[in-house]
Structure 1
């Protein structure tokens, strides 16, 4: 499975993946998902929001156990973020069939659409729509860098955008959702464990900073006469690092757009996007407020206008203790593990579909060790033995939830 999926959407120059929502690469990934499901005799459907579901058992029955993740990527992303969870779900089903497990609940494997938000700027679009956390009106307003709206992109890819909206009936039939994901940090590498359980997702959000100055000639305009928004943007980037470091949080300006974007022109507009995350809400608020204050102070000194818009936000999400503890007990007591100690429980600063669904469905996450901690990069990696341990752990969990 991994070898078949690996070439899809891969950029030859960077070695990373560009699997953006509702593009040709996304279509190829969806076709791969359907082929894997049909090869296992699963019934495949695409819901009103573009999420794929592969069913074993009656999809209309209550108490279904669902697993899966996403196949889309950030720009030049790694191979494991998302796809590891989908591949591992199919592999876990293969393992359960090898064991001769008898299912007493329906099982579904999912591929949620547009989890990364690389094209339209909002993460977890598919799961947010299903959970009612993104309105149809707001979804229709989403546009990519070329001005193409989400409905236009969906329609071009052969999906009807007219049905977009909440899917409470489907979510009500789910008894548990378990998402396996490569760890996007080094906590497991430091403890020496191949697999861990998520405790919570840090509160996080995205803010757009628009710095407006005055376009002018780079060679003839005196420094003293300039209203250069790039300087204020640069100071704000440095302020983000300072504020985050002081608070024990993270803050990143990872995307920037410049107008007129000429080598010999002073910019008229610099637009930068801030991503910030912290272990608690108060800390996050303090960090973002400090960054904005520093930006406004420097803008005032240099004659630059500043607008700040919060484009998305997800509060802290603590996964339910009941399901988390049940999974921990299943893994600790599994005969397929060679240790008897507790599975480590760890928080994460990364957002996931599981976090979105947790408000509607009992939800848990498993992490697979990432030896370098690198993610959202072609260097992202997990060792084959750890991936196999993740499949075994997921199979143990699914057997305990769906087969007993």
Structure 2
């Protein structure tokens, strides 16, 4: 096996953080921005980068940068994120960070000297699991979200993003588009575990990405009449929980009828939330995705109509509010084809998962490299990547960097 740091069947970096943020109730990992587990990962990143002689800094939006060479324009930037969904897998995010650091370490071990600056970036709040908007760090940096709106986002404990940022060393009024950080990126390359079965079906360890589906998140509020569970006859109820149940099935049916569209309700909240209480309101969150922007918008319009009809049938009202939106992304074709060729003609695959690379693609040449996930499952404790495939990913990055630097 080539000289990649390996410990107990894992890349050493992954082994070093394997116990950080373990979720004993859900399984997997829960690592949310600026909460203890994610802060521990940030400290680990600082220490790991310093071992390689890299200079670490954070930008005005909470993203971390580890520089090989002095920060300057036209840098080759690699990286991903360290946060997770609730009960997520070991590899989603951290694999890209660990592999980038390992690739630099491999180059250094051969005495390679870069002719242009290189950096590894850790983007903040990629999953949106604490404040509800995915890729928040890269959206703020590129100006893709209004900083006032971002600052007002709240978590489950009603902590505002601006206050959490302030508590972690940032200045809330400085949140927003960062032309200095953005201007330093000559190109961006994100390695990520594949979130699907493409590489399983092709029986190969690596691929480059071609595109990212259009996708967004919507909050669906269903209002009815709160009442006593025992004293209210079934015939006289305006129960938003029943309406929500019917709405969730309608979401599934609307997407299933449209070919390869995807729609998911993965979160639900009832008020007041008592076992013996008919809720007054139920809120669910919709994730919808399709190949094209218009198709995704059409899907959401159909879902809205179906959900409204189901709610009306239960005597309830509905409000549907968009919380985030990312249009379809075509990653840089020249960079994509160059990577595929340099890595021996590896396949090109689309992805249905959103990434910081998709946000950056509107501003700088951007590419993604996927590592096979033999379970085909992601955002779950079942997510996996073998040691051989993760090592192949590091070697691929090292080869790519040798040609770019």
TM-score (norm 1): 0.95
Q: 2:369 aligns with which of 348, 366, 372?
A: 366
* Structure 1 partner of 2:351: 348
* Structure 1 partner of 2:339: 327
Conservation of the 8 A alpha-carbon contact between 2:251 and 2:307: no
* Equivalent runs, 1:250-329 vs 2, <5 Å: 250-329=262-341
Partner Cα separation in structure 2 for residue 208 and residue 36 of structure 1 = 39
* Structure 2 partner of 1:193: 204
Q: Note if 1:163 corresponds to 2:166.
A: no
* Structure 2 partner of 1:20: 32
Partner Cα separation in structure 2 for residue 359 and residue 168 of structure 1 = 14
Partner Cα separation in structure 2 for residue 151 and residue 386 of structure 1 = 39
Conservation of the 8 A alpha-carbon contact between 2:221 and 2:281: yes
- Which structure 2 residue ranges, 5 or more long, are not aligned? 1-12
Q: 2:396 aligns with which of 393, 396, 399?
A: 393
Shift of residue 201, structure 1, vs aligned partner = 0.5
Partner Cα separation in structure 2 for residue 126 and residue 114 of structure 1 = 6
Shift of residue 344, structure 1, vs aligned partner = 0.9
Deviations along 1:323-363, one digit per CA (max 9) or x if unpaired, are 1111112112xxxxxxxxx2111111111011111111110
Instruction: Name the stretch that deviates more: 298-307 or 353-362.
Output: 298-307
Q: 2:142 aligns with which of 131, 140, 147?
A: 131
Conservation of the 8 A alpha-carbon contact between 2:247 and 2:311: no
TM-score (norm 2): 0.95
Q: Note if 1:83 corresponds to 2:83.
A: no
Partner Cα separation in structure 2 for residue 210 and residue 148 of structure 1 = 21
* Equivalent runs, 1:24-173 vs 2, <5 Å: 24-60=36-72, 62-173=73-184
* Equivalent runs, 1:224-239 vs 2, <5 Å: 224-239=235-250
Shift of residue 10, structure 1, vs aligned partner = 1.4
Partner Cα separation in structure 1 for residue 311 and residue 181 of structure 2 = 49
Partner Cα separation in structure 1 for residue 294 and residue 403 of structure 2 = 38
Conservation of the 8 A alpha-carbon contact between 1:23 and 1:157: no
Deviations along 1:18-69, one digit per CA (max 9) or x if unpaired, are 1111111121111000001111111110111110000011202x21000010
Conservation of the 8 A alpha-carbon contact between 2:208 and 2:368: yes
* Structure 2 partner of 1:336: none
Shift of residue 278, structure 1, vs aligned partner = 1.1
* Structure 1 partner of 2:252: 241
> What is the number of residues matched between the two proteins?
392
Conservation of the 8 A alpha-carbon contact between 1:177 and 1:364: yes
Shift of residue 182, structure 1, vs aligned partner = 0.3
2:33 aligns to what SS in structure 1? coil
Instruction: Name the stretch that deviates more: 66-75 or 286-295.
Output: 286-295
- Which structure 1 residue ranges, 5 or more long, are not aligned? 333-341
2:264 aligns to what SS in structure 1? strand
Q: CA RMSD in A?
A: 1.2
Q: 1:377 aligns with which of 364, 380, 404?
A: 380
Conservation of the 8 A alpha-carbon contact between 2:59 and 2:181: no
Shift of residue 81, structure 1, vs aligned partner = 0.3
Conservation of the 8 A alpha-carbon contact between 1:216 and 1:267: yes
1:287 aligns to what SS in structure 2? helix
Shift of residue 163, structure 1, vs aligned partner = 2.2
* Structure 1 partner of 2:23: 11
